[in-house]
Amino acid sequence: MPPERTDSAAAGELAQHLARRIRAAGPLTVDAFMSAVLTHPRHGYYVARQPFGRDGDFITSPEVSQMFGELLGVWCAHAWDVMGRPPLVRLAELGPGRGTLMSDLLRAAASQAGFRAAAKVHLVELSQTLAHAQRMALAGSGYDVTWHTSFAEVPEGPLLLVANELFDALPVRQFVRTVAGWRERLVDADDRGGFQFVVAAAPGPGFALLPPEVRDAPVGAVAEVSPGAIALVSNIAARVAKDGGAALIIDYGSGEFGARDTLQGVARHKPHPVLENPGIADICAHVDFAVLRRAAEESGAKVWGPVTQGAFLHQLGIGPRAARLSAKATSAQKAEIESALARLIGPEGMGGLFKVLCVAHPGHPAPAGFAP
């Protein structure tokens, strides 16, 4: 179980650290604040906690049902097959959580003859707490598993990559359209020992990060951009364009360009004020898939999607898979399977909110799950 969220001492220390930074150098950009809250070496949200599952702050698709990871395993094994079955393939996951997705994925992918021998598993994880949980989950899997702290550490070679609910945690910069033009939103210390949003008094070079499609938004509009997300998807795209392979990015967000304010805090499955008690809650933002698609294409990759998670899983056969599980289940288990299926593919829930993007080598054929 994750540490109790009333750990006011840790939250206080992180708040003091942020306040000192602000006093020394002025208000922080939103991405600097977000980065410190999530990855501070001692008190960062993802460094010090296990936020996943019913006892945590949120539940991801792999935690909802084994079907999610199993279908991604089938997808990876099929992608490896259409790649020509290379004798070595780097199977990477970015932000592997508690190892649930990769555990289910590997079990399902092993049904493809030869895949277990070819796949070298690479997990990119910053948190030692989560890395320990991943080691426990994958113990005895029979695969060669290596841990890294950045994607750049994953060795070269044909690549199959999965990033589920990783890009939403990459820090964003925010800009506000004022009567005087676009100004960056910043985080300043207030006179009560907390933090508040302010707007920069003058324009800055960060404005150049905004996509042209949003620059004519009306006064009062807020636009977001994640330099880290753009850099990461560009590096992934360049890697698969050079070495071959494909990557799946699965997250909640929009496939259309637009100005929007999606920054949010989440604690114990409920909204939490973004600036309150830093380190106690997750801070995330919706993923701009339109920007990711453009960046990946500019880096030489072929891109499919985004499609909704519901459509993707439906095409991969989640319905028949649920039926097979139900055939051997008790009445209570059947109800759980039906509930999980509805949650994963329902248009009003994860099935509609979450999107799936595939970034692949230019010669890679149309991947499973992306047919019209």
> pLDDT tens digit string along 8-49?
555 678 888 899 999 999 999 999 999 988 886 666 666 666
Burial state string for 183-214 with b = 16 or more CB within 10 A and e = fewer than 16: bbbbbebeeeeebebeebeeeeebbebbeeeb
CATH number at residue 120: 3.40.50.12710
pLDDT band at 236 (very low <50, low <70, confident <90, very high): very high
Range 58-77 average pLDDT: 91
- Answer whether residue 371 is part of any domain: no
- pLDDT cut 70: percent of the chain above it: 92
Q: What confidence score (pLDDT) does residue 199 get?
A: 95
The strand pair at 181-189 and 28-29 is best described as antiparallel
- Answer whether residue 320 is part of any domain: no
- Give the containing element (helix H, strand E) for 73: helix 66-82
- Answer whether residue 284 is part of any domain: yes
Alpha-carbon distance values, 111 to 80, 167, 202, 242, 245 (Å):
13, 30, 59, 28, 20
pLDDT band at 4 (very low <50, low <70, confident <90, very high): very low
pLDDT band at 56 (very low <50, low <70, confident <90, very high): low
Q: What confidence score (pLDDT) does residue 191 get?
A: 84
- Answer whether residue 100 is part of any domain: yes
**Number of domains the chain is built from:** 1
- Answer whether residue 197 is part of any domain: no
Q: What confidence score (pLDDT) does residue 1 get?
A: 38
Does the structure show a pLDDT above 50 at 165? yes
Q: What confidence score (pLDDT) does residue 271 get?
A: 85
CA–CA separation, 229 and 207 (whole Å):
17
Of 105-119, 195-209, 215-229, 282-296, the one with minimum mean pLDDT is 195-209
pLDDT band at 317 (very low <50, low <70, confident <90, very high): very high
Of 95-109, 115-129, 172-186, 268-282, the one with minimum mean pLDDT is 268-282
Structural domain for 352, as ranges = 1-169+228-313+347-362
Does the structure show a pLDDT above 80 at 233? yes
User: Do residues 51 and 130 touch, judged by C-beta distance below 8 A?
Assistant: no
Of 71-85, 197-211, 287-301, 330-344, the one with minimum mean pLDDT is 197-211
User: Do residues 50 and 131 touch, judged by C-beta distance below 8 A?
Assistant: no
Range 270-290 average pLDDT: 88
Angle at 89 between CA 85 and CA 90, to 5 degrees: 160
Question: Which of 92, 95, 1, 93 lies closest to 39, judged by CA?
Answer: 95
Of the two residues 109 and 268, the one the predictor is more confident about is 109
- Give the containing element (helix H, strand E) for 93: strand 89-94
Range 106-112 average pLDDT: 94
- Answer whether residue 247 is part of any domain: yes
Q: What confidence score (pLDDT) does residue 43 get?
A: 65
- Answer whether residue 179 is part of any domain: no
Q: Which residues contact 117 (CB under 8 A, 6 or more apart)?
A: none
Does the structure show a pLDDT above 60 at 74? yes
- Answer whether residue 333 is part of any domain: no
Alpha-carbon distance values, 5 to 156, 215, 279, 294, 337 (Å):
40, 39, 9, 39, 31
Helix (H, G, I), strand (E, B) or coil at 278: coil
For the four alpha carbons of 54, 58, 63 and 64, in that order, the dihedral sign comes to positive
CA–CA separation, 337 and 323 (whole Å):
9
pTM above 0.85, yes or no: yes
- Asked if the peptide bond before residue 218 counts as cis, ω within 30 degrees of 0, the response is no
User: Do residues 262 and 280 touch, judged by C-beta distance below 8 A?
Assistant: no
The mean pLDDT value of the chain amounts to 90
